[in-house]
Amino acid sequence: MAPSPADGARSVRRATGSRPRVLSVAGTDPTGGAGIQADLKSFAAHGAYGMAVTTAVVAQNTHGVRLVHVPGPEVLAAQLDAVSDDVAVDAVKIGMVADAAGARTIARWLDRVRPPFVVLDPVMVATSGHRLLDAGAEDAVRALVGRAEVVTPNVPELAVLLGETEAGSWEAVLDQAARLAATTGTLVLAKGGHLAGTTSPDALVSAGGCVLLEAERVETPHTHGTGCSLSAALAALRPQRDGWEPAAREAKEWLTGALRAGGALAVGTGRGPVDHLHELVPARPFSEEAWERVAPWRSAIEENAFVRALGDGSLAPAAFASYLAQDAAYLEQYSRVLSRASAAAPDPGARAFFARSALGAVDAEQDLHVRWLAEHAGMDADDVARVEPSGVTAAYTGHLHAAAAGSYAETVAALLPCFWLYAHVGESLAARAGDLAAHPYGAWIAQYADPAFAEATRRACGLADAAARAAGPAERRRMLRAFELSAMHEQLFFDQGLEGTSEAQTLVPASSGYTHR
């Protein structure tokens, strides 16, 4: 991607130590989810001092717009001059322009003041698909595009700026964005949120190429003001970052979290807002958010063929032997990471919990695993100790050790799924298994369905929540990522149970007389 002229010619404000002063030029939203109210919260969330000039007074809520009052170009010009005559403006975000006279007023002000960084969010199409501006106003907004460093249209707005039919695919969006960038000389942050799919791709597109910014799609009705909030975050971040790409990546990551957290705000009965301050004041405990984020992995584990066969007793003993041997290898490394968590814990209670858990992991290995393998597979403790970790096992324990090389909070987050997902599986299987004493794998199910293990899981959740409360926004994001990766590894670990059935024969000494039944 060809760099914007601003990337090389302008210094980064963070070197001065002052907060960037960022101006929103947009309409209002009395419910706070969009417009200048959302912009000011986005600025604050990214450490900027926010200012606002009103282009239109909008009576709207989470259900839609009821009335728009445009004060007129004289009032708009007076507001813009009042700001720039007194305050050095480091960046500007332009949102709803409302009419052609307002767009021309803003254009003249930009030409005279020349703020260092300008982001234009061309508010031209309502969520319902209705055009918000007449033809003259649309032409005036197009003229503003060339005065901005970055323009952030959604799919319908991109089509309006080009005077074309709305793109129906991500490839068509990128093509339109490239042509808009080529004709205007402005970077285009193309957004794929309006398209269907499991991901929500964005891209920074210039005449010289594009940089993809991918993220998972957040399934939520709480999307009011997402365009306003993303463009405002971008404007706030650019004076503090070395280019548009790092600013855009950080803004997108922040918005993804804001979308996830929006429902907990309980604002309005329609399409609610995102949570702009989710990183500063989390609306819910870490464990609650983390558990929700791994719902796909939980579902995969619940439907896993190995887990289902384990629960109904139909699992081949060779498969269970293979699984237990790998779990013994895993628990050896897991107990070491628990010990590292104990050493790094900030208080005596946490240190004692993780120390007991490390000892418990060893006990579980020696008791359940070795005892079962000795009885059913003819393997003694030395045989188990010689088992080589599979690629899946090594990948999981490698992830745990990598997390432990980070902070205490990341370590706790990475360890938690082994508590929580096993407690979840144990409880689910026990509810369906009937008499565990007569079940071929009843001892395994009983261990993880034990109320004492459930209590240990609750304690581990509480310690993770406490660590997250003490963590900053970036560290909390790393905690969530560590938790998600551990959940993924748990699912893969169960998957290898059936994949390793034939390999299990190689784990059993030939002299044992064990045969696959």
Instruction: Please confirm, yes or no, whether 349 is among the known catalytic residues.
Output: no
Q: How far apart are CA 157 and CA 19, in angstroms?
A: 32
Residue among 93, 102, 228, 393 flagged as catalytic: 228
- Position of tokens 């293979």? 322
CA distances 473 to 45, 308, 358, 469, 480, Å, are: 10, 38, 29, 10, 11
Q: Is 225 a catalytic residue?
A: yes
181, 207 contact by CB (below 8 A) = yes
63: number of CA atoms within 13 Å, CB side? 4
What does residue 60 show for φ and ψ, rounded to 5 degrees?
-145, 165
Q: Please indicate whether residue 199 is annotated as part of the active site.
A: no
Is 223 catalytic? The answer is yes
Q: Which two tokens stand for residue 361?
A: 């992991």
Q: What are phi and psi of 513, to 5 degrees?
A: 80, 5
CA–CA separation, 14 and 45 (whole Å): 16
Annotated catalytic residue within 35, 93, 102, 191 = 191
* Pair of tokens at residue 417: 């799924």
User: Is residue 228 among the annotated active site residues?
Assistant: yes
* 57 close to 27: Cβ distance less than 8 angstroms: yes
Q: Which of 50, 225, 257, 262 is catalytic?
A: 225
**DSSP state for residue 272 in the 8-state scheme:** P
Tell me the DSSP string of 306-321.
HHHHHHHT-S-HHHHH
Q: Which listed residue (227, 257, 272, 442) is catalytic? A: 227
Place of tokens 């957004």: 191
As to burial, measured by CB atoms within 10 angstroms (0-12 exposed, 13-18 middle, 19+ buried), residue 249 is middle
Tell which residue, 62, 64, 68, has the closest CA to residue 97: 68
- Determine how β-strand 202-206 pairs with β-strand 49-61: unpaired
Residue 488 sits at the vertex; the CA angle it makes with 482 and 491, to the nearest 5 degrees, is 145
Kindly state the tokens that stand for 218.
């957040």
Grouping H, G, I as helix, E, B as strand and the rest as coil, residue 131 is strand
Catalytic status, residue 418: no
Which residue among 31, 152, 186, 223 is the active-site one? Answer: 223
Out of 55, 184, 186, 226, which one is annotated catalytic? 226
Contact by Cβ (8 Å): 279, 253: no
Q: Look at residue 286 and give its three-state secondary structure.
A: helix
| Other CB atoms within 10 Å distance of the CB of residue 515 | 9
Residue type at 467?
A: A
The vertex-34 CA angle with 31 and 37, nearest 5°, equals 70
Q: Residues near 408 by Cβ (< 8 Å), separated by ≥ 6?
A: 341, 344, 345, 346, 467
What residues are annotated to the active site?
191, 223, 225-228
